[in-house]
Amino acid sequence: MSKQKILAKRIFWSLMFLAWVALIAYFTVQDGDTSATTTGVIASRFYRESNKMFEILFGRGISYATFHFYIRKLGHFMIHAGLAFITVRTSLWMTLERSFGLKLAWVFAIAIAVLDEMAQMLIPGRYTAVMDFLINLSGVIVGAFISSLIGPRSFRIKKKAPPTRSYSVKYGDSDSYFPQ
């Protein structure tokens, strides 16, 4: 890959990382009412059809409050899975050593997940929950795992071929076909 393409990839993934962190910060600093309204819009769009599916599968639907709760938790999971995915991509393009890049990505993604939950203590109408942190962490694990699986070929661990033995051939020697 040319140096220009590598530079373009580095810039792209760096900008993606910064944009994703800004998105998390945007959601984090919303007060309780704004946050509930944002997720409420999403939940209301999917509630009717999803509730029909629950009635078919389980014989009864679920309440809107329960559905809204699960939408919020799914949001926590997805935004931190995306963060980990982008962080792994960014770190792999920015570093030459794969193991260092993966460790750096884990540290960044977990630190942002912790800061996200801790910042909510300072926002009116929001609260910090251990369950939210665990959901964030599970999103980080899944996102980093998926990103490391589908990474560029140059970042995958390559298996080395087993060493070959050298053979010495001496003409006229009866032991010429055996390793030295």
DSSP states along 10-47: HHHHHHHHHHHHHHHHHHHTS-HHHHHHHHHHHHHHHH
Tokens of 159: 């298996």
What is the residue extent of each domain of the chain?
3-151
Which residues, including other chains, have CB under 8 Å from residue 8's CB and lie 6 or more apart? none
Q: How confident is the model over 100-149, as pLDDT tens digits?
A: 777 877 888 889 888 888 888 888 888 888 898 999 999 999 998 888 78
* pLDDT for res 81: 93
- Give the DSSP letter of residue 115: H
Q: Please give the residue that has the higher pLDDT: either 99 or 81.
A: 81
The CA distance from 90 to 101, in Å, is 8
Overall size of the chain counted in residues: 180
How far apart, in Å, are the Cα atoms of 15 and each of 1, 9, 59, 138?
20, 10, 47, 24
* pLDDT for res 78: 94
Q: How confident is the model over 15-24, as pLDDT tens digits?
A: 999 999 999 9
* pLDDT for res 94: 77
Among 135-139, 141-145, 162-166, 167-171, the range scoring the smallest mean pLDDT is: 167-171
Q: Please give the residue that has the higher pLDDT: either 87 or 164.
A: 87
111 backbone dihedrals φ, ψ, rounded to 5°? -60, -40
